[in-house]
């Protein structure tokens, strides 16, 4: 519609000269029409959770009770994520609903790629543990106000591997509890802590699924990376590529000797990254290979 026609229609609707407004989801963008008390959303399964929440907020903006109806096809099986969104939007009422919506949206869509420019992603690929720890780093950095010593003392190894790592909803159904367990896992600092955490998971929720086992393995690898001063670890079917923090290793002589005795399996690239050749067939094998590599490096650095 032309801008002039659009303005006239909205003015007539606001002044109650029109009883029904047929529109796209553009009306979610902050329109405040107190007299509007009924909203019908066609094909609500195609909208995002935040969109549905904003649309619902367009009605009931005065003392008149508002009604929001979200329609879906009668004879069509909804996608799992769409069904989750509709269940969530139906349950959100009262104070604090916005934060609850954000938590559910994070769980359904996944966190964004903190190491790239993608604005959406899957928490199973990035890992809530990494997200939570990086957030803690940012807050600590602001509080430190330029304290270089404090900033240098807290860093997180970055691990790239094609293994799904998460606590699935089928394992821990309650969202708040699941997020709490992620937070606890992010704070573990010793191998024994991980073993105790795994034992608690088994005791409370049953046998650990493969995705959660991968998550525990990645946390253990990160602990070893910190001991070996490995800042970045990339694992693929053909081997492992490591980058040391500030290009420094605690015992360079030991590392050089290890490379020399590896019969060509280990080499240093011109960009100072260490390459370890190791063929693997599955994500599980790659996790095992990565853990052995950083474990050997941690022993050399001790």
SS (H, E, C) the chain: CCHHHHHHHHHHHHCCCCCCCCCCHHHHCCCCCCCCCEEEECCHHHCCHHHHHHHHCCCCCCCCCCEEEECCCCCCCCCHHHHHHHHHHHHCCCCCHHHHHHHHHHHHHCCCCCCCCCCCCCHHHHCHHHHHHHHHHHHHHHHHCCCHHHHHCCCCCEEECCCCCCCCCCCCCCHHHHHHHHHHHHCCCCHHHHHHHHHHHHHHHCCCCHHHHHHHHHHHHHHHHHHHCEEEEEEECCEEEEEEHHHCCCCHHHHHHHHHCCCCCEEECCCCCEEEECCCCCHHHHHHHHHHHHHHHHHHHC
Task: Output the pLDDT for position 293.
Answer: 92
Tell me how long the chain is: 302
Task: Output the pLDDT for position 122.
Answer: 44
Q: Assess whether pLDDT exceeds 70 at residue 94.
A: no
Q: Assess whether pLDDT exceeds 70 at residue 49.
A: yes
Q: Assess whether pLDDT exceeds 80 at residue 152.
A: no
What the chain holds in terms of domains, given with CATH numbers, is 3-109 (3.40.50.300), 123-301 (3.90.1150.50)
User: Distance between CA atoms of 36 and 23, rounded to whole angstroms?
Assistant: 13
Q: Assess whether pLDDT exceeds 90 at residue 22.
A: yes
Adjacent-strand bridge partners of 69: 40
Poorest-confidence range of 10-14, 94-98, 117-121? Answer: 117-121
Task: Output the pLDDT for position 112.
Answer: 54
User: Distance between CA atoms of 287 and 289, rounded to whole angstroms?
Assistant: 5
- Burial (Cβ within 10 Å: 0-12, 13-18, ≥19) of residue 170: exposed
Q: Assess whether pLDDT exceeds 60 at residue 247.
A: yes
pLDDT, tens digit (0-9, with 9 covering 90-100), for 162-189: 888 889 889 998 888 888 899 889 888 8
Percent of the chain clearing pLDDT 90 (strictly above): 30
Q: Assess whether pLDDT exceeds 70 at residue 46.
A: yes
Residue 21 pLDDT grade (very low, low, confident, very high; cuts 50, 70, 90): very high
Q: Are 191 and 222 in contact (CB under 8 A)?
A: no
Highest mean pLDDT among 87-96, 111-120, 247-256: 247-256
- CB under 8 Å to 155, separation ≥6 — which residues? 137, 226, 231, 245
Adjacent-strand bridge partners of 82: none
Task: Output the pLDDT for position 134.
Answer: 65
pLDDT, tens digit (0-9, with 9 covering 90-100), for 25-38: 888 877 788 888 89
């Amino acid at each position: 519609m032309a801008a002039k026609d659009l303005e006239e229609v909205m003015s007539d609707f606001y002044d109650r000269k029109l009883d029904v407004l047929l529109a796209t989801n553009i009306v979610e963008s902050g329109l405040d029409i107190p007299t509007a008390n009924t909203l019908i959303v066609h094909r609500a399964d195609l909208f995002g959770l935040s969109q549905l929440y904003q649309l619902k907020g367009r009605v009931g903006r005065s003392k008149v009770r508002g009604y929001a109806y979200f329609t879906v096809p009668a004879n069509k099986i909804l996608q799992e994520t769409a069904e989750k969104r509709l269940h969530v939007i139906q349950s959100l009422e009262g104070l604090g609903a916005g934060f609850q919506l954000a938590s559910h949206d994070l769980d359904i869509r996944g966190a964004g790629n903190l190491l790239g420019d993608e604005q959406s992603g899957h928490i199973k690929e990035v890992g809530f543990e990494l997200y939570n720890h990086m957030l803690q780093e940012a807050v600590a950095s602001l509080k430190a106000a330029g304290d270089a010593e404090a900033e240098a003392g807290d860093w997180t190894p970055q691990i790239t591997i094609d293994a799904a790592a998460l606590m699935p909803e089928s394992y821990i159904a309650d969202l708040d509890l699941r997020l709490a367990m992620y937070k606890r896992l992010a704070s573990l600092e010793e191998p024994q802590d991980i073993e105790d955490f795994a034992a608690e998971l088994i005791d409370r929720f049953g046998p650990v699924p493969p995705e959660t086992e991968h998550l525990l393995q990645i946390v253990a690898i990160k602990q070893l990376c910190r001991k070996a001063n490995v800042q970045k670890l990339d694992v693929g079917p053909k081997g492992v590529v490591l980058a040391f923090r500030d290009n420094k290793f605690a015992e360079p002589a030991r590392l050089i000797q290890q490379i020399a005795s590896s019969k060509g399996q280990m080499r240093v690239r011109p960009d100072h990254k260490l390459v370890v050749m190791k063929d693997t067939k599955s994500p599980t094998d790659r996790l095992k290979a990565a853990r052995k590599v950083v474990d050997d490096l941690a022993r050399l650095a001790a």
